[in-house]
């Protein structure tokens, strides 16, 4: 089974040379730590920076330089700043190659819910609705089950939706899955996790074809 860093490490393998990548808050932010250093990648943060670098060294924090999670960051050589409308022109206009975000629920037809629990938690969608509505390459990073042990990979989402039919790939602590017309196609299993474990933790339709290899992380 993977921890959050393990999930980020596996997703980092999906990042290719020349990609502009938008990372959501939470596990997705960790992906930047594991991208191969022999490829050229630029991270976009929706609050207005391309070419986002690591956190600053203590004492060099700049209140005018933050990421979408409001954390202090740095800018790498070649970086640029822009306004919010331009930022979402990059996203809506499909100029960003890969979007990685977290989710509370994903359904077998690729719907995603991650912004609201009615009556309990309403933080808002931030940029998530714009991202999932436009991005062609979306990977969801999340735990396979919630804190109560219930599956987050469902037939139908129970929470208010963020977007419909948009998720292509999911990386969880248990597996890598692709969203297909017939449901969740199991691609890889996490180290030490069996296909039966994944079946038991998946409420939506799980498709298992042939031998399922263990992830290389």
Structure tokens at 196: 């039966």
- In angstroms, give the least distance from the CB of 131 to other proteins: 8
Nearer to other proteins, 44 or 145 (CB): 44
Asked if residues 175 and 144 have their Cβ atoms less than 8 Å apart, the reply is: yes
Q: Is the dihedral of CA 19, 20, 22, 28 positive or negative?
A: positive
- In angstroms, give the least distance from the CB of 59 to other proteins: 8
Catalytic residue among 46, 105, 108, 203: 46
| 13 CB-contact burial (10 Å; exposed 0-12 / middle 13-18 / buried 19+) | middle
- In angstroms, give the least distance from the CB of 83 to other proteins: 4
| Rounded CA separation 155/146 (Å) | 16
Nearer to other proteins, 74 or 151 (CB): 74
Interface residues toward other proteins, by CB under 8 A:
45-49, 54-58, 60-73, 75, 81-85, 87-88, 91-92, 111, 115-116, 119, 122-130, 133-134, 160-164
Nearer to other proteins, 38 or 64 (CB): 64
- Asked if 105 is an active-site residue, the reply is no
* Opening angle at CA 67, ends 103 and 166, nearest 5: 30
Q: Which residues are catalytic?
A: 46
């Amino acid at each position: 089974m993977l921890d959050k860093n393990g999930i980020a490490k596996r997703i980092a393998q999906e990042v290719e040379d020349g990609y502009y990548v938008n990372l959501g808050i939470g596990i997705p932010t960790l992906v930047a730590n594991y991208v191969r250093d022999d490829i050229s990648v630029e991270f976009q943060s929706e609050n207005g920076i391309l070419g986002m670098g690591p956190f600053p060294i203590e004492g060099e924090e700049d209140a005018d330089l933050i990421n979408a999670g409001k954390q202090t960051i740095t800018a790498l050589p070649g970086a640029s700043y822009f306004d919010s409308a331009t930022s979402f022109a990059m996203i809506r206009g499909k100029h960003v190659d890969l979007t990685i975000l977290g989710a509370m629920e994903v359904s077998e037809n690729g719907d995603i819910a991650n912004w609201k629990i009615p009556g309990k938690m309403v933080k808002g969608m931030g940029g998530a609705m714009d991202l999932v509505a436009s991005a062609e390459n979306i990977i969801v990073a999340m735990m396979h089950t919630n804190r109560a042990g219930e599956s987050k990979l469902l037939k139908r989402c129970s929470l208010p939706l963020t977007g419909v039919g948009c998720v292509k790939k999911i990386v969880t602590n248990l597996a890598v899955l692709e969203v297909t017309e017939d449901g969740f196609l199991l691609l890889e299993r996490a180290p030490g996790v069996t296909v039966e474990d994944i079946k038991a933790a998946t409420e939506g339709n799980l498709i298992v074809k042939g031998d399922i290899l263990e992830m290389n992380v």
